Chain A
Amino acid sequence: MTLASPTTTVLFFARARELAGVRSAELSGHTVAEVLAEVRTRFGAELGELCATCTIVVDGEMVPAAGFDTTAAGHELAVLPPVSGGAVEHEHHRTGPRRLRIAVLTVSDRASVGDYEDRTGPAVARAAERLLDADIVELRVVADDSDAITDVVAGWCDRDVCDVVLTAGGTGLSPRDVTPEATRRLLHVEAPGLAELMRAEGLRHRAMAALSRQVAGRRGRTVVLNLAGSPTAATENLEAVAAVLPHAVAMARSGT
């Protein structure tokens, strides 16, 4: 009778992480080569191919291919894709329907002049990629200025650069908060249900969500949504409408 080997903690980074769909996994196999074979079996041929170009690090030490017969079981094995020093590119091959194109506009006086970093825009972009498998086609910051907001958002809609515009910030009750008015000015039709859905979800987390005046609607073929200003609240807003957004886009683009 043989004793089961301890598992190997396999860490994935960058494209390997995306192909595996996880940051780490406990895999069987005694040697490095056996663990990598298990990676291929478990996560597919594309990751298997990538592994062949990766640096393999066991407990912090690089293991050359000649050393793949060394023991991995019970250790931490990291799969490190080539770093960006060169220029080989791996396009995401996509099948099926075209992905949603999303433009993100952070509305903030202070972020627009660089007083602080815009953390909400990137958080919204990440959430959109995660929830909607969307392509982020714009990521910009403007001041709490009604004309500036209208110019940017209407420009994106009219040039058809995206299917959805997500604004973040400027939806509160302070005199500087002008995003809802600027948005309403450019919308051709409002979709109050989307705003209600976002507020309703926000209210489950905090009563302050009642102070959000966010609006939603359509300009031309583009859906426009106001999200809250904080990374957490903006992400929650998007989660609240993620299930209906693809259909909203399909309706907005129907007949085109």
Chain B
Amino acid sequence: MTDPADRADPCDDALPGPPVLVARLDEHPVDVAALVAQVRRDDGGAIVCFEGTTRSPNHGHEVVALEYEAWPERTPAQLERLAAEVADRHGLLGAAVVHRTGWVPVGATAVVVVAVAAHRGAAFAGASELIDRVKSEAWIWKKEHRVGGAVWVEGC
């Protein structure tokens, strides 16, 4: 673990407060600008926002929509823990993750990750790690509705 003192920006006058965290499931399209507004702060000079969208074609299949299923009682707390851990590891000032549930048509946004840091290096690294961990750890399942059938996509 990194000592918090090592992370402090020598240019800053004071240590930052605890990170602002937003983590939730949403059955409706995500207002990305509003989400960024929730976590942006004056001491964060770098904001990285990642959107994962429904892609078609995907591995040669024509995709109609992705359908996401989560565990409404437990997945949100898991997302919050992931955001908190990534924020801690990268010294983020803010971190947000919002994942859609239900049907997400081609081109629409399925997941949004935002990382806010004093400087861009930590913001890029934090956003990248957060989306990687959400995809590999969060209890969210994806069914790909394709022309010709539907498939649950299960991974590592």
Contact = CB atoms under 8 A, between A and B. Distances in A.
Interface of A: 11, 13-15, 17-18, 53, 57, 60, 78, 80-92, 94, 99, 117-118, 121-122, 125-126, 129, 135-139, 161
Interface in B49-81: 59, 64-65, 69, 71, 74
Contacts of B145: 125, 136, 139
Contact of B103 (A89, A126, A135): A126
Interface bracket on B: 20 to 34
Contacts of A17: 69
The 7 closest A-B pairs by CB, nearest first: A86-B155, A14-B141, A85-B136, A122-B103, A84-B142, A86-B156, A82-B154
Q: In the complex, which of the residues B135, B148, B151, B155 has the most CB atoms of chain A within 10 Å of its own CB atom?
A: B155
Contacts of B150: 92, 129, 135-136
Contacts of B1: none
Contacts of B44: none
B32 to A, nearest CB: 13
Contact of B152 (A11, A14, A125, A126): A14
Contact of B102 (A14, A122, A135): A122
B64 A139 contact: yes
Contacts, number: 107
Given A17-B69, A85-B156, A125-B145, 20 more contacts: A14-B141, A14-B152, A14-B154, A60-B74, A80-B71, A80-B139, A81-B152, A82-B156, A83-B139, A83-B140, A84-B153, A84-B155, A89-B144, A89-B154, A135-B147, A135-B148, A136-B64, A136-B145, A138-B147, A161-B147
Interface in B118-156: 135-145, 147-156
B151 A83 contact: no
A81 B141 contact: yes
A131 to B, nearest CB: 15
B156 A125 contact: no
A68 to B, nearest CB: 20
B108 to A, nearest CB: 8
A13 B139 contact: yes
B154 A86 contact: yes
Tell me what chain A mostly uses at the interface: helix, strand, loop, or mixed.
mixed
Contacts of B102: 122
28 contacts: A13-B71, A13-B141, A60-B74, A78-B71, A80-B139, A83-B140, A83-B142, A83-B154, A84-B135, A84-B154, A84-B155, A85-B155, A87-B155, A88-B153, A88-B154, A88-B155, A89-B154, A92-B150, A94-B149, A117-B28, A117-B29, A122-B65, A122-B102, A122-B103, A136-B150, A137-B148, A138-B147, A139-B103
Contacts of B152: 14-15, 18, 81, 89-90
Interface of B: 28-29, 59, 64-65, 69, 71, 74, 102-103, 105, 135-145, 147-156
A78 B78 CA distance: 15
A136 B151 contact: no
A79 to B, nearest CB: 11
Given A81-B152, A90-B152, A90-B154, A139 B65 contact: yes
A90 B74 CA distance: 25
Contact of B141 (A53, A83, A88, A121): A83
